[in-house]
Amino acid sequence: MGGKEGSRGYLYQTFASIFEALCQKDWDKIYIEYNSENDKVDIALEIDGKIFKSIQVKSSINLFTKSSVTKWLNDLISDDIGANEYSIHLIGNLEEKANVFINVLRKYQDNEKDIDKLDNKAKTAVDDFDLSVLNSRSASFVVLPYDIDSLTRIMRDSLNQYLFYKNISLSFDQISLILDTLIAENFISSLGNEGIDRSTFDSKLEEHIKMLSKKERICKAIGIVSFERYADYITGLTDTILSFKDKFDGRKLKPEYDWDKNIYQELETFLTTNTDPNNSYQLMIEAPLSIAFVAGRILDPKSRISAFPSNPDPLHKSELWNIEDSCDDSFTGFNVRDERIDINEFDTCLIISITHDIKDNVNEYILDNGLKIGRMITLTIGGQGPCNNAIINGKHAHYLANKVCDALVKRTTPEKRAKLHIFAAAPNGFMFFLGQQSRGFGKCIPYEYDFEGRDTASYSPSFQNLM
């Protein structure tokens, strides 16, 4: 399975686990990636200390065949973890024979597992499957659409049903936002690898609901500045400001200060002190890209802080880049170039060109500084190419940040353990969203460019201890 397909597979497993947790009422504990002998169990449900349901998730853009469906069911039953209910979640479409097989199996079980109640055509459909394995077991299939939008609609309906049983009434937009959060955080897996108790699932979900369902959210403006020029407008628009102006000379950090010891620690203290889960926050950042990236890293989804960056236009009207903005199917993505340039090195160079093309400058820096790079991943915005208005809105910026994650999937384990050197020409809002997802990147080193030509007129590393 390739990187892209593997990433999509994990996404579908997340959908399936949330779907099962919401729709299955009687369970005390749910396990994701259950450690079974043959590694066939993706999801397991427990009640009263005993596993009662074993689930495998399969997704494919191609039609599921009868032979594949039969094999998966046999494999799941053979991978015995003590369950008496077995279910295959098929995310995609079935060929006709597979559909007939599933329907006959369902009919067989509905008729008290009496083979004589099946007609000859039905018996033929299951003649290569040993029905006796179901004598003390039950088997079911859940068929869901491969299309993400259709699958999301089904998940939203399931969440709405769950909330109905809890006597919680939310708007369509609020339910959609909660579902987006559950999926983005890989919610169930993020709660632990040893199984999740029903009470934990309910309480964590209720935390999300409480945080996101208020009809009126106070959106407090927070400013982070280091630039002397063009940043004065923030003073009158923010509730509180963190200023690094005394530590920077233009875009360059003064030599007596350290990115990790001074900037990171002060930024982390400021953000954690001035935010809480009961409010929403608008971040107005007039500072280097590295600071926007680290701000997102600090306020990642697990922080439970609802924060969105602003993208000021030339008149500084400060448009809030909320990921709830409308999504357009025609969003421009990246043109991706992934090159393995030295099999003896494992550091990765990530080049992101959104506002302008930087690959030549980056290559020059790497050559001049003898940077040892094993893999080069170059992402260049498509459409009309790099320009200042390449990103439409917050949803588009968030979409592109996800595409960066997709581009990093192909790195090998040694590469993931090595350093990721990040060079970007992009809006601060995009860098904030990228930072929110960067915990899974491994060791990151963002770079800053000397645009004003006061020093090197080239790049220099900023934060070097982001693990």
Q: Which of 413, 412, 333, 422 is nearest to 380 (CA)?
A: 333
Helix, strand, or coil (residue 91): strand
Nearest-angstrom CA–CA distance, 395 and 443: 27
Q: Where exactly are the structural domains of the chain?
A: 3-212, 219-320, 334-461
Q: From residue 10, how far is each of 16, 207, 348 by CA, in Å? A: 10, 24, 23
Same-fold call for 219-320 versus 334-461 = yes
List phi, psi (to 5°) of 267.
Answer: -65, -45
Q: Locate 48 and state its tokens.
A: 């009263």
Fold (CATH) for 334-461: Rossmann fold (3.40.50)
Chunk the chain into consecutive blocks of 10 residues (it has 467) and report each block's average pLDDT, rounded to whole numbers: 46 72 82 88 90 91 94 94 93 94 94 90 91 91 84 81 72 72 62 73 77 56 83 73 92 93 96 88 91 96 86 52 58 94 95 96 95 96 92 88 92 94 96 94 94 75 92
**Cβ-contact 91, 121 below 8 angstroms:** no
The pLDDT assigned to 220 comes to: 81
Which tokens sit at 243?
């200023």
In degrees and rounded to multiples of 5, residue 279 shows phi and psi of -130, 165
pLDDT attached to residue 454 = 62
Q: Which helix (H) or strand (E) is 459 found in, with range?
A: strand 459-461
Burial 319-331 (b: 16+ CB within 10 A, else e): ebbbbebeeeeeb
pLDDT value for 188? 61
> What distance in Å separates the CA atoms of residue 53 and residue 374, rounded to the nearest whole number?
45
pLDDT at 374: 96
- 3-class DSSP assignment, residue 264: helix
3-state helix, strand, coil in the chain (%, to 5): 40, 20, 35
Q: What is the pLDDT of residue 425?
A: 96
> Does 3.30.70 match the CATH number of domain 3-212?
no
What is the full DSSP assignment across 60-84?
-SSPBPHHHHHHHHHHHHHS-SS-S
Query: 85-91 and 248-249: which strand pairing?
Result: unpaired
**Contact (CB, 8 A) for 151 and 145:** yes
Verdict on whether the full-model pTM lies above 0.85: no
Strand order in the sheet with 50-59: 138-144, 85-91, 50-59, 43-47, 29-32, 196-197
Task: Spell out the residues 6+ positions from residue 338 whose beta carbon is closer than 8 angstroms to its own.
Answer: 375, 376, 377, 378, 407, 410
Does domain 219-320 correspond to CATH entry 1.10.10?
Answer: no
Count of CB atoms situated within 10 Å of the CB of 23: 15
Buried b (16+ CB within 10 A) or exposed e, 164-184: eeeeeebeeebbbbbbbbbbe
